[in-house]
Structure 1
Amino acid sequence: MQDPATDLGPNKQRQEKPHVHTAVLSPDEKHLLYTNLGSDKIHIYKYKASQPQPLSEPTSVSVTGGDGPRHIDFSANRKYMYVITEMGAHVFTYEYNGGKPKMLQKVSMMEDGSTKEPGGADIHVSPDGLFLYASNRGTANEIVVYRINQENGMLSFVERHNTGGNHPRNFVIDPTGNFLLVANKNSNNVVVFKINRTTGQLTQTANKIEVDSPSCLKFASVE
């Protein structure tokens, strides 16, 4: 694998150096994956917690040059990996293949003919594994909804929905799969949406939390 410090993407303004955004364990906890906007790569290490040096055998997979990978999520059956890109505002579908991803699909989050500024941010699969949700910042300020084909992991467009604020940096789906909460960083609010479990579509509720610059949302159990 090339050195990520020198193996950089074509956008000289945004990819002048490595930009690691997120690191996640694979569902089977056999690999650590991290996204590097600067190199347009998802880097993959074998992971063994019991070893003195738990990370080994680095490899990587590339997205389209200049797209800038940001976040990762996996299908409920663990067979497919989804990557959202920040600059390109695309969602890539991969067959995970035991840490050797094979790209299957690339879909744009932007509406055809749109002149809005893209800014892909966060991505989550619904708890039932039927739908994928992705947030787009820039001047789009949308959550884009896709249905997941349960046979091959491929995505089909369902709808795009305004986030009720500005700069949806992060969002979270509650453990029941009934609600989606969006952290709109620049408008200082968290907006609550009801999820239609059959169609995947969103309906904005009257519930909203005012909070300064929300950037990350997590659910925690209460004892």
Structure 2
Amino acid sequence: MNDATLVLVGNAKAGSISVLRLGEGSLDPLAEHEVGVGCGTFAIDHARGLVHTAVKEPEPAIVTLSFDAATGQLTETARRAIPDPLAYLVLTREGELLLGASYAGNWGASWPTPKGVPGEPVGRVEHRHLHCVVPDAAGRHAYWVALGDDLVAQTAITEDGGLEPLDPGTVSVEEGAGPRHLVLAANERSAYLVTEFTGEVIRFERDDATGVLTRAESVSIVDPGAGLSTSRLGADPMEEHLIWGADVHLAQFGSFLLATERTASTVATVSMEPEGLLGAVIGLTPTEAQPRGFAVAPDNRHVVVAGERSGGVALYELSDEGILTELDRRDTGSGANWVRFA
């Protein structure tokens, strides 16, 4: 593993971002920076050495920080007030455009960042409880996951960063599924969506020319021995012992898909078939308590999982057979729920 590979962890309740160095089988703490309660999402501009994070307190804002990769130090450079907290941030067009989804505000927006600082928003979408937004690599299309409306909104990104609906403008899932996070395959011919209330990963075929998604197959990522029931909006999954799907990523260069479920605290490993089709669940690995967010390292073999309830992160290595082996863990802060590599 390259000793320059760093891991950034958002600790939402603590209001901090932890920076760790990924060593040979270890996570080594480098720095800690307080940014504000609710810092549960951020996007890294690697070229400019910047991190854009969203906070809830003292007021909802997008906070831009410079990032020293040698020391892990973060320094605030700008702060833009926004109407509501954001659940998801992502950069596109080589860092020139920032996209964000607000679960609490029921909206998504785009902000030009020509000098690394978000300007006035130029695009907006509105759906209930938007939880995630993912652009394609070229910055032509963006996909907005609306948990409250059980759909994915699909938009074109205009030349100036505006947002226009595709035809059709949305693709639906089953009522009450609670779509949450989405990831595109490397070849962008498939998109994979994890649902919060039913604990499924759903594959969509993607038309590269139009950007339109079409529903395909699905697989359950819930531990069948955990005795979990389907959840619903407004329920307490821990109190009622309900399904609580969280995050999804591809690993081993598309050979496996990983997805987390928070009530049983597991990471499911799904084998992938040719052409990106979903195969079977081949492993359910116990992990950090309430694993909300995780990320796969640039080498596609190492995985860092954050536990909302444990307040820490665990490092795993994924074998060629799809087996996750824990190598290390570190406490980071209360409400650890977001992980990205730099």
User: Could you say whether these structures have the same fold, taking a TM-score greater than 0.5 normalized by the shorter chain as the test?
Assistant: yes
Q: Which moved more, 1:140-149 or 1:150-159?
A: 150-159
Taking the aligned partners of 1:97 and 1:156, their CA distance within structure 2 comes to 25
Residue 198 of structure 2 corresponds to 88
**CA distance change for structure 1 residues 195 and 127 in 2, over 3 Å: closer, same or farther?**
closer
Residue 188 of structure 1 corresponds to 311
The higher relative CO (CA closer than 8 Å, separation ≥ 6) is in: 2
Taking the aligned partners of 1:24 and 1:97, their CA distance within structure 2 comes to 15
Aligned residues: 199
Q: Given the two structures, how large is their TM-score scaled by the length of structure 2?
A: 0.55
The Cα of 1:111 is off from its aligned counterpart by 3.3
Which residue identity lines up with residue 118 of structure 1 in the other structure? I
Q: Given the alignment of the two structures, is residue 54 of structure 1 paired with residue 162 of structure 2, yes or no?
A: yes
Q: Which moved more, 1:144-153 or 1:79-88?
A: 144-153
Q: Deviations over 1:120-172 (max 9, x none)?
A: 1010011511110001012x100000111123523322111001x21101011
Identity %: 26
Taking the aligned partners of 1:102 and 1:159, their CA distance within structure 2 comes to 27
| Secondary structure of the structure 2 residue equivalent to 1:18 | coil
Which residue identity lines up with residue 265 of structure 2 in the other structure? N
Q: Deviations over 1:155-192 (max 9, x none)?
A: 322111001x2110101111112211110111111011
Which residue identity lines up with residue 304 of structure 2 in the other structure? L
Which residue identity lines up with residue 182 of structure 1 in the other structure? V
Residue 199 of structure 1 corresponds to 321
The Cα of 1:27 is off from its aligned counterpart by 3.0
Which residue identity lines up with residue 203 of structure 1 in the other structure? T
Judge conservation of contact 1:172–1:218 (CA < 8 Å) in 2: yes
| Secondary structure of the structure 2 residue equivalent to 1:76 | coil
Judge conservation of contact 1:127–1:175 (CA < 8 Å) in 2: no
- Kindly report which structure 2 residues correspond to 1:58-69, keeping only aligned pairs within 5 A, or say none: 58=166, 59-69=169-179
* Structure 1 runs of 4+ with >3 Å offset: 111-114
Q: Given the alignment of the two structures, is residue 136 of structure 1 paired with residue 244 of structure 2, yes or no?
A: no
**CA distance change for structure 1 residues 36 and 146 in 2, over 3 Å: closer, same or farther?**
same
The Cα of 1:22 is off from its aligned counterpart by 0.9
1:118 equivalent among 230, 234, 243: 243
- Kindly report which structure 2 residues correspond to 1:1-223, keeping only aligned pairs within 5 A, or say none: 18-48=128-158, 50-51=159-160, 54-58=162-166, 59-98=169-208, 99-112=211-224, 114-116=226-228, 117-126=242-251, 128-138=253-263, 140-163=264-287, 165-196=288-319, 198-205=320-327, 207-212=328-333, 213-220=335-342
Judge conservation of contact 1:75–1:153 (CA < 8 Å) in 2: no
| Secondary structure of the structure 2 residue equivalent to 1:73 | strand
Which residue identity lines up with residue 183 of structure 1 in the other structure? A
Residue 14 of structure 1 corresponds to none
Taking the aligned partners of 1:219 and 1:130, their CA distance within structure 2 comes to 20
Q: Given the two structures, how large is their TM-score scaled by the length of structure 1?
A: 0.83
Judge conservation of contact 1:174–1:219 (CA < 8 Å) in 2: yes
| Secondary structure of the structure 1 residue equivalent to 2:337 | coil
Taking the aligned partners of 1:142 and 1:73, their CA distance within structure 2 comes to 19
Judge conservation of contact 1:72–1:83 (CA < 8 Å) in 2: yes
Taking the aligned partners of 1:84 and 1:153, their CA distance within structure 2 comes to 15
Judge conservation of contact 1:76–1:127 (CA < 8 Å) in 2: no
Aligned-residue CA RMSD in angstroms? 1.7
Greater radius of gyration (CA): 2
Structure holding more strand per residue = 2
